[in-house]
Amino acid sequence: EVQLVESGGGLVQPGGSLRLSCVASGFTFSSYTMTWVRQAPGKGLEWVSFIIGSSRDIYYADSVKGRFTISRDDAKNSLFLQMDSLRAEDTAVYYCARDVDNVTPDYMDVWGKGTTVTVSS
């Protein structure tokens, strides 16, 4: 079964850090572009970052650029999101998702269940 499982969410104070993980199973993880998407409470979906499968090129939303770092460990079938200098507006459910295209990011066909990040004092 193709599956993504996120972990690492929690409560953190403003200015703090958190590292999210996403473990993949059931498919050849190294062949895929992987994406983080977040959803603030009661709000819509917001793309955060992706790392392209073929080139390992990385892109970020302006709202997180310079504060978040995406990475992957293909040997461990894992995707990560290091989140530093966290703000209240980063409070959201963070989803890990698989992109269908290895070269040009397209749409996401597999999603994890998400992990909740709350930034509050």
Binding site for other proteins (CB under 8 A): 35, 37, 44-47, 50, 59-62, 95, 100, 105-109, 111-114
Whole-number Å distance between alpha carbons of 96 and 61? 15
State whether residue 95 is helix, strand or coil.
strand
Rounded (to 5) percent helix, strand, coil in the chain? 5, 50, 40
Closest separation in Å from C-beta 39 to other proteins: 8
Please report, in angstroms and rounded to a whole number, the separation of the first and last CA atoms in the chain.
40
Q: Are 87 and 118 in contact (CB under 8 A)?
A: no
Closest separation in Å from C-beta 114 to other proteins: 6
Is the Cβ of residue 86 or residue 97 nearer to other proteins in the bound state?
97
Is the Cβ of residue 44 or residue 66 nearer to other proteins in the bound state?
44
Whole-number Å distance between alpha carbons of 24 and 63? 26
Q: Are 120 and 91 in contact (CB under 8 A)?
A: yes
Is the Cβ of residue 1 or residue 62 nearer to other proteins in the bound state?
62
Closest separation in Å from C-beta 89 to other proteins: 16
Is the Cβ of residue 16 or residue 45 nearer to other proteins in the bound state?
45
Closest separation in Å from C-beta 17 to other proteins: 23
